Amino acid sequence: MNIKNPRSSLENAGFCFCSAVPAAQQIAISRLLVCYPRQLNQLPWDNFLAQPAGFTPSPPFIQAYRQAVSTIDSISQSDTAIARAKGFSECVIALRRALTTTPVGWSLAVWFCWGRVPLGSIVSWLATAAFVWAGSLFVLQRVIGAGSKVDVHRSWVHWVAALDGFGWGLSTWFLVGYDPVLDAILMALLCGVTSINAQVYGTYVSAYYSQIGVQLAVSVLGLLTASNSPSALDFAAGLGVFIALTAYYSRAIAQRLMEGIRLQYANGLLAAQLRSALQKVELDAATDALTGQWNRRALDNFLKQQVELQTVAYQPFSILMLDIDFFKQINDELGHMVGDDVLRAFAHRLRADLRPGDFCARFGGEEFLVVLPQTALGVALEVAERIRKGIAQSPLLEKPRVQVTVSIGVSTMEQGQSIAELLARADAAVYHAKNTGRNQVRPSVNMPAQASGVAHQDFLM
């Protein structure tokens, strides 16, 4: 069974109220049923429909439910992989942007330390940090140039993050221990760097753990071994607690960010599918189902556009009205199925003989109408004659062998003329062609604009 609205059917079956289904999965399934109707329509929802509200889940129900969850999991995993790749690319770009502003942090640290820390220590730290910084920027530029692929460049980004943490962690080796107040300021600066990087690595949090892990290890080691600060142990403990809490809360934030990216992708895909479906609906609404040509609705709109163009730009246009000769005889002798095949083959050959920009529509029954934009009567007659010869030169069908001819009426839109009058003149020209032997082209010059219902009945064949 393949139903069109599985969500509604599940609710009718009491699925959302079944105590055997966890509440979180109820919400997830309800949401995904809306986002992924095409995939979920393939599931055996008849097992759900067979159950009344308030039921005890049967083995078929449980099996179908598990299959639904499995399908949802596979779809979700695909979206998660795409979101992860996108998040990685965004993280690489954000990291490069953050590294370009790193010298601002250095300047702040030097300003704090100036006059309190020996110049040699400041220069040593800056030189080491600048070397690491330049290498990191070079690597990131190469990664971005190669497309920032998570499976290929993941380790490179982790190395860049670790080196960034290493550069900042070295500040405790070179700058701490000379002034108690300065030591506290530098610890606050390291905490600020940690907080800022939490935003930078928000869409690829594993690299953030590399950054703060190395920064914490190098900083604590410097505080405990290289610095002479009396509060080294306190600073190390405080920095460790701050980084641990930041890492803990960053994980939850990162999960929400990745979920947002995944949903953004899913919604974009859904919107694209909706646009495609709407375009198909619009096309189906304007297309003749049998022949694949435009229908009367599309023809009416196109004729109105041509009239507007003629009024504004004085561009003439012509129409060809075509009627297959003796079509009723084909239906009577060979059957309507063969008649349908003839119409399809006729439309295909007609379309092949038209110029780019010409408009072909099925007018009704065995009648077709072609609009020739920016075409005067003389050129329209040439096009009509080419079509007439192309139809008559070879059979439309081989089995059974069916060869037809066509009568064509040609009419050109004149200033002050209505669409109804244009069609009436072309219609009169068609039946004049039929009345004088068929398989010919007739213009509507000096022909009264009348559509004879009697003539139409007389020449149905």
pLDDT at 314: 80
Please name the residues in contact with 431: beta carbons below 8 A apart, sequence gap of 6 or more.
409, 452, 455, 456, 459
pTM over 0.75: no
pLDDT at residue 90 is higher than 60: yes
Instruction: Name the residue among 352, 344, 361, 384 with its Cα closest to residue 302.
Output: 361
Q: pLDDT exceeding 90 applies to what percent of the chain?
A: 48
pLDDT at residue 38 is higher than 70: no
Read off the pLDDT of residues 388-441 as tens digits, 9 standing for 90 and up. 999 999 999 998 999 999 999 999 998 888 999 999 999 999 989 999 999 999
Classify residue 406 by its DSSP letter: E
pLDDT at 279: 83
pLDDT at 66: 64
| Active site members | 366
pLDDT at 19: 44
pLDDT at 189: 93
More confidently predicted of 86 and 371: 371
| CB of 435 closer than 8 Å to CB of 427 | no
Instruction: Name the residue among 204, 449, 430, 220 with its Cα closest to residue 327.
Output: 430
H or E segment and range at residue 372: strand 367-372
Distances (CA, A) of 313 to 305, 309, 310, 317, 419: 12, 5, 5, 12, 17
pLDDT at residue 84 is higher than 90: no
More confidently predicted of 60 and 373: 373
Q: Which of 51-65, 150-164, 286-300 has the lowest mean pLDDT?
A: 51-65
More confidently predicted of 35 and 213: 213
More confidently predicted of 270 and 424: 424
pLDDT at 3: 37
H or E segment and range at residue 362: strand 359-364
Average pLDDT for the chain: 81
More confidently predicted of 279 and 68: 279
d(C-alpha 352, C-alpha 404), whole Å: 17
pLDDT at 406: 95
Instruction: Name the residue among 392, 442, 408, 389 with its Cα closest to residue 322.
Output: 408
Pick left, alpha or beta for residue 425 (phi over 0 → left; psi -120 to 50 → alpha; otherwise beta).
alpha
pLDDT at 55: 46
pLDDT at residue 71 is higher than 90: no
Read off the pLDDT of residues 195-227 as tens digits, 9 standing for 90 and up. 999 888 888 889 999 999 999 999 999 888 876
Cβ neighbour number for residue 117 with a 10 Å cutoff:
21
Q: Which of 4-13, 56-65, 201-210, 446-455 has the lowest mean pLDDT?
A: 4-13
pLDDT at residue 47 is higher than 60: no
Topology given in CATH for the domain delimited by 296-458 = Alpha-Beta Plaits (3.30.70)
Structure token digits, residue 68: 């639904």
| CB of 350 closer than 8 Å to CB of 362 | no
Average pLDDT estimate for 33-54: 48
Q: pLDDT exceeding 70 applies to what percent of the chain?
A: 79
Query: How crowded is the C-beta side of 426, counted as CA atoms within 13 Å?
Result: 30
